[in-house]
Amino acid sequence: MNDTTTPDAGRLADLRIDGDRLWRSLMDLAAIGATPLGGVRRIALTDLDRQGRDQVVAWFRAAGLEVRVDPIGNIFGRRAGRDAGRPPVVAGSHIDTQPSGGKFDGNYGVLAGLEVVRTLNDRGIATVAPVEVAVWTNEEGTRFTPVMMGSGVFAGVHRLDEVLARTDLEGRAVGDELQRIGYAGTAPLGHPVGAYFEAHIEQGPVLEDSRCTIGIVTGALGQRWYDVTVTGMNAHAGPTPMRLRKDALLAASRLVGEVNRIALEFAPDGRGTVGFMQVSPNSRNVVPGEVRFSVDFRHATDDGLAGMDRALRAACERVAREVNVAVAVAEAVYFPPCHFDAACVGAVRESTRALGFTHLDIVSGAGHDAVYVARVAPAAMIFVPCKDGISHNEIEDALPADLAAGCDVLARAMLARAGVA
Amino acid sequence: MNDTTTPDAGRLADLRIDGDRLWRSLMDLAAIGATPLGGVRRIALTDLDRQGRDQVVAWFRAAGLEVRVDPIGNIFGRRAGRDAGRPPVVAGSHIDTQPSGGKFDGNYGVLAGLEVVRTLNDRGIATVAPVEVAVWTNEEGTRFTPVMMGSGVFAGVHRLDEVLARTDLEGRAVGDELQRIGYAGTAPLGHPVGAYFEAHIEQGPVLEDSRCTIGIVTGALGQRWYDVTVTGMNAHAGPTPMRLRKDALLAASRLVGEVNRIALEFAPDGRGTVGFMQVSPNSRNVVPGEVRFSVDFRHATDDGLAGMDRALRAACERVAREVNVAVAVAEAVYFPPCHFDAACVGAVRESTRALGFTHLDIVSGAGHDAVYVARVAPAAMIFVPCKDGISHNEIEDALPADLAAGCDVLARAMLARAGVA
């Protein structure tokens, strides 16, 4: 079935990670950059990021991992396998946070990987392929764009020199800041990866709503973003009869409804969101002459996104005619849909079933480092519930039992791919 | 028919104001505070307002008018009648402008009144009742609220002491600024007015659209303004399925459509406008958790406004249920509808017909000084077209022939009410 040795059912049936140790490490890391409301502010390539990295590297070394850092600052901690020629089976995520971020987004994937290594050490389990834990640089993209910077450079999506030259609002460059915090490494960029697993809180409400513990992530939605500008004519709200208006907000509002309708037509994987809207002149008694708004479409397939695109453009033309305004649609971003590796997804599913957790297949609506890694290696993700589906927020929360369950699934899936020696 | 002497048809049939002189005065006044794009910025109680007032007062005195200033800075220039005991027949408007205002809004009504006086002087026509030209303080309300300040105090809508204490953003008070520019007068506040006429550009597109020269203004729409807050839940645009959202912008957008539908249901005098909208957090990939927007309803009758109010509240309840959000409606402002005096409106209509101008009856959608004066005196308004219906804008424009036509109507209507001696 796999090209690696299947875990010995007898020996591994009772393999469980240490949920308390995982939780303590999460809380210890969350203390670096802790915010008053219980969240974390540890923005990429700041002093706090360095402190967080130093802590994780210290834990890696204490667990016997060989630590390497590549030129974009990605950190890899490797546990040797019996067959040094095999590419490693990697678990990872990121430890940078949003400005008002939580304790779990990213951090969980890194520390779950570390907990797997610690458990293998405790049990004296050797693997055929090496096992590795990865910390990707600047996933959040808060201070420096692009988002998912480290994994994007690793996967060849972005050029290293271009990304090193990116600056923040104060003009400081990625390359200089990596030097400053001591994480401009020299390890070869983009080494081979045998399989990649990323455990992550769901950042949405589906698992909680379905009362499931594990989300078996089969892929990530593609994203197609637009900037729409509606141009009508400013007019006094009083003297201008309804029939002589060119009301840009009336047209934009109809299009918000159309975006919603289109998403529902492309159910269940369609998403349509207008998150940003700017009205001009935005005065109580003036019919708005211009409205700019964003459209964020997501779908599991390119065909779905193409259909949503056609429906949006048709709706814009129709509403422009109906309301007597001009509507301009500019495409801003296109992320193609991602389909995770069948064997990796299968390893997650079999591990989940073997452990007896409630589960459902889920497509990630958000981007993750795994989406870029999937371009160069077999990859999959494991989701666990987060409270009320809330993330990117200081009140982000998750249950210790759910985090431990996801880590148990991760351990079994990694062993399935790495092979027990 | 009227309690004043009807103009002598033989003597007055050929009475015409001097359109060129009116235009030159408009252009001369527009030079004070002229903007590069051809507009005027002459904000109430500034040095430029003083310069404008000084120019108008100089013209009043040159035309033989007796000038008085009341405690809120309203200027009245009176031409005596044969019967000093009769209350004056007044023409007026304002000369303050919007920050990016035009040459005609307000200024036209004042200078048309002045042109009527100049024409009476040229022809040696005496009237039974005195004839007066009024300049109302701070109609625009740009720097100091409330709008229509001078006429509102004159009509007893606002208390003088309260209004004198109002401050601008820099903390300067109305009373102090009136003193500073020399227009804190001592004339008695709120003297009797026999009839009031205000000539004004339409500030809307109806006359131009109907190819009519004169709008016989029968009243002004009542206004009912609301602040609406929609509360949903912020959520990530990616991971949050459509069915689990509480999208405040989706709900607000439906309500924009409802405001439009309600206005159309209350045609032809219904107006419904959402001019202001603020989305939170207003980020491209976050489902908006809160939206605040304004509603501006206008109608010619209180019953109409009450019906629109009920329809809005019903729509808010329905949309709140449909979209799973909370909608709070707070009423912000209520101006009752205004019906102008039948005899004054009749004088405008008869004058328009006698002069042979194309015309239509029209209800003002905007507020004007005449709306407040109408609370204490018989009043009416005369509208003339403005280019593309545009006002409160530096490109505000009107044709000299239309301005002259409106002034001809004003002259005849004033004589009809004042009586030729």
Cis peptide before B288 (omega within 30 of 0): no
Helix (H) and strand (E) counts in chain A: 13, 16
DSSP calls for A2-67: -SSPPP-HHHHTT----HHHHHHHHHHHHTTTB-TTS-B---TTSHHHHHHHHHHHHHHHHTTPEE
Burial class of residue B224 in the structure, from the number of CB atoms within 10 Å of its CB (0-12 exposed, 13-18 middle, 19+ buried): buried
Chain A nearest-CA distance from B245, in A, is 10
β-bridge partners, B196: B90, B379
User: Contact B244/A286, CB-based, under 8 Å?
Assistant: no
ipTM of the complex: 0.87
Phi, psi of A277, deg, nearest 5: -150, 135
The confidence score (pLDDT) of residue B4 equals 45
**Could you tell me the pLDDT band of residue A14, with boundaries at 50, 70 and 90?**
confident
For chain B, how are helix, strand and coil distributed in percent, rounded to 5?
A: 35, 25, 40
What are the tens digits of pLDDT across the range B334-344?
999 999 999 99
What are the tens digits of pLDDT across the range B258-294?
999 999 999 988 999 999 999 998 988 889 999 999 9
What are the tens digits of pLDDT across the range B290-308?
999 999 999 999 999 999 9
What's the CA angle centered on A230, arms A224 and A231, to 5 degrees? 150
Place of tokens 């590549």: A70
On chain A, the residues whose CB falls within 8 A of the CB of B260 are 242, 247, 250
pLDDT above 70 coverage of chain B, percent: 97
User: Contact A223/B238, CB-based, under 8 Å?
Assistant: yes
What does the longest C-alpha to C-alpha distance in chain B come to?
83
Closest Cβ–Cβ partner in A225, A288, A298 for B284? A225
Euclidean distance between CA atoms B214 and B406, whole angstroms: 7
pLDDT higher than 50, residue A2: no
What's the CA angle centered on B55, arms B53 and B56, to 5 degrees? 65
pLDDT higher than 50, residue A155: yes
3-state secondary structure of A300: coil
User: Contact B254/A253, CB-based, under 8 Å?
Assistant: yes
Closest Cβ–Cβ partner in B254, B260, B298 for A238? B298
On chain B, the residues whose CB falls within 8 A of the CB of A252 are 253
User: Contact A271/B240, CB-based, under 8 Å?
Assistant: yes
Cis peptide before B378 (omega within 30 of 0): no
Give me B96's structure tokens: 């303050």
Amino acid identity at B185: G
On chain A, the residues whose CB falls within 8 A of the CB of B305 are none
pLDDT higher than 70, residue B1: no
User: Contact A285/B271, CB-based, under 8 Å?
Assistant: no
Chain A nearest-CA distance from B370, in A, is 15
Residue of A nearest to B203 (CA): A239
Sign, Cα dihedral of A142, A143, A145, A148: negative
Euclidean distance between CA atoms A55 and B107, whole angstroms: 73
pLDDT higher than 90, residue A10: no
Chain A nearest-CA distance from B65, in A, is 34
Euclidean distance between CA atoms A277 and A264, whole angstroms: 21
Sign, Cα dihedral of B34, B35, B36, B37: negative
Euclidean distance between CA atoms B114 and B120, whole angstroms: 10
pLDDT above 90 coverage of chain B, percent: 90
pLDDT higher than 90, residue B12: no
**Could you tell me the pLDDT band of residue A100, with boundaries at 50, 70 and 90?**
confident
User: Contact A240/B391, CB-based, under 8 Å?
Assistant: no
Which residue, among A148, A221, A246, A249, would best test binding to B if mutated, counting the most B CBs under 10 Å from its CB? A249
Closest Cβ–Cβ partner in B204, B253, B285 for A273? B285
pLDDT higher than 50, residue B5: no
User: Contact B254/A249, CB-based, under 8 Å?
Assistant: no
Q: Which bin fits A148, alpha (ψ -120 to 50), beta or left (φ > 0)?
A: left
Instruction: Please list, in sequence order, all residues whose beta carbon lies within 8 angstroms of the beta carbon of residue A14, skipping any fewer than 6 positions away.
Output: none
Chain B nearest-CA distance from A105, in A, is 13
Chain A nearest-CA distance from B225, in A, is 9
Q: Are strands B75-79 and B326-335 parallel, antiparallel or unpaired?
A: unpaired
Sign, Cα dihedral of B266, B267, B271, B274: positive
3-state secondary structure of B417: helix
On chain B, the residues whose CB falls within 8 A of the CB of A274 are 249-250, 253, 288
Mean pLDDT of chain B: 95
Residue of B nearest to A282 (CA): B276
pLDDT higher than 50, residue A37: yes
The confidence score (pLDDT) of residue B13 equals 77
What are the tens digits of pLDDT across the range B17-51?
999 999 999 999 999 999 998 999 999 999 999 99
Helix (H) and strand (E) counts in chain B: 13, 16
On chain B, the residues whose CB falls within 8 A of the CB of A276 are 279, 282-284
The confidence score (pLDDT) of residue B306 equals 97
Euclidean distance between CA atoms B278 and B71, whole angstroms: 40
On chain B, the residues whose CB falls within 8 A of the CB of A367 are 238
Among the listed residues A162, A106, A164, A113, the one whose alpha carbon sits nearest the alpha carbon of residue A136: A106
User: Contact A277/B272, CB-based, under 8 Å?
Assistant: no
Among the listed residues A339, A337, A260, the one whose alpha carbon sits nearest the alpha carbon of residue A299: A337
Euclidean distance between CA atoms A169 and A181, whole angstroms: 18
Closest Cβ–Cβ partner in B239, B249, B296 for A274? B249
On chain A, the residues whose CB falls within 8 A of the CB of B391 are 236, 239
Q: Give kind and range of the element (H or E) at residue B333.
A: strand B326-335
Euclidean distance between CA atoms B298 and B221, whole angstroms: 6
3-state secondary structure of A261: helix
On chain A, the residues whose CB falls within 8 A of the CB of B264 are 242
On chain A, the residues whose CB falls within 8 A of the CB of B240 are 204-205, 271, 365, 389
Domain extent listing, chain A: 9-220+337-418, 222-335
Q: Which fold has domain B9-220+337-418?
A: Aminopeptidase (3.40.630)
Chain B nearest-CA distance from A390, in A, is 7
Closest Cβ–Cβ partner in A236, A249, A275 for B285? A275
On chain A, the residues whose CB falls within 8 A of the CB of B283 are 275-276
Tell me what the mean pLDDT of segment B147-160 comes to.
Answer: 97
Instruction: Please list, in sequence order, all residues whose beta carbon lies within 8 angstroms of the beta carbon of residue A300, skipping any fewer than 6 positions away.
Output: A219, A221, A222, A269, A337, A363
Chain B nearest-CA distance from A152, in A, is 19
On chain A, the residues whose CB falls within 8 A of the CB of B237 are 271, 273, 275, 296, 298, 365
The confidence score (pLDDT) of residue A1 equals 37
The confidence score (pLDDT) of residue A392 equals 86
Mean pLDDT of chain A: 95
Can you list the positions of beta strands (E) in B189-276? Answer: 195-201, 214-220, 222-231, 235-236, 271-273
Cis peptide before A268 (omega within 30 of 0): yes
3-state secondary structure of B124: coil
Euclidean distance between CA atoms A364 and A367, whole angstroms: 7
Per the model's pLDDT, the better-predicted residue between B379 and B389 turns out to be B379
Residue of A nearest to B209 (CA): A244
Among the listed residues A215, A182, A176, the one whose alpha carbon sits nearest the alpha carbon of residue A360: A215
Burial class of residue B229 in the structure, from the number of CB atoms within 10 Å of its CB (0-12 exposed, 13-18 middle, 19+ buried): middle
Residue of B nearest to A386 (CA): B239
Closest Cβ–Cβ partner in A235, A271, A274 for B238? A271
User: Contact B203/A236, CB-based, under 8 Å?
Assistant: yes
Which residue, among B147, B285, B319, B325, would best test binding to A if mutated, counting the most A CBs under 10 Å from its CB? B285
What are the tens digits of pLDDT across the range B345-360?
999 999 999 999 999 9
Among the listed residues A45, A24, A186, the one whose alpha carbon sits nearest the alpha carbon of residue A111: A24
Closest Cβ–Cβ partner in B257, B282, B284 for A253? B257
On chain A, the residues whose CB falls within 8 A of the CB of B275 are 237, 249, 279, 282-288
On chain B, the residues whose CB falls within 8 A of the CB of A204 are 235-236, 238-241, 244
Which residue, among B202, B233, B242, B363, would best test binding to A if mutated, counting the most A CBs under 10 Å from its CB? B242
Euclidean distance between CA atoms A127 and B243, whole angstroms: 44
Q: How many CB atoms lie within 10 A of CB A121?
A: 14
**Could you tell me the pLDDT band of residue A307, with boundaries at 50, 70 and 90?**
very high
Chain B nearest-CA distance from A224, in A, is 11
Across A239-256, b (16+ Cβ under 10 Å) vs e yields: bbbbebbbbbbbbbbbbb
Q: Which fold has domain A222-335?
A: Alpha-Beta Plaits (3.30.70)
Chain A nearest-CA distance from B69, in A, is 31
On chain A, the residues whose CB falls within 8 A of the CB of B389 are 235, 239-240, 244
User: Contact A239/B364, CB-based, under 8 Å?
Assistant: yes
pLDDT above 70 coverage of chain A, percent: 97
Length of chain A: 421
3-state secondary structure of A278: strand
Q: How distant, in Å, are the alpha carbons of A43, A168, B29, B54, B176 from that of A165?
A: 18, 10, 58, 62, 58
The confidence score (pLDDT) of residue A11 equals 65
Euclidean distance between CA atoms A265 and B10, whole angstroms: 76
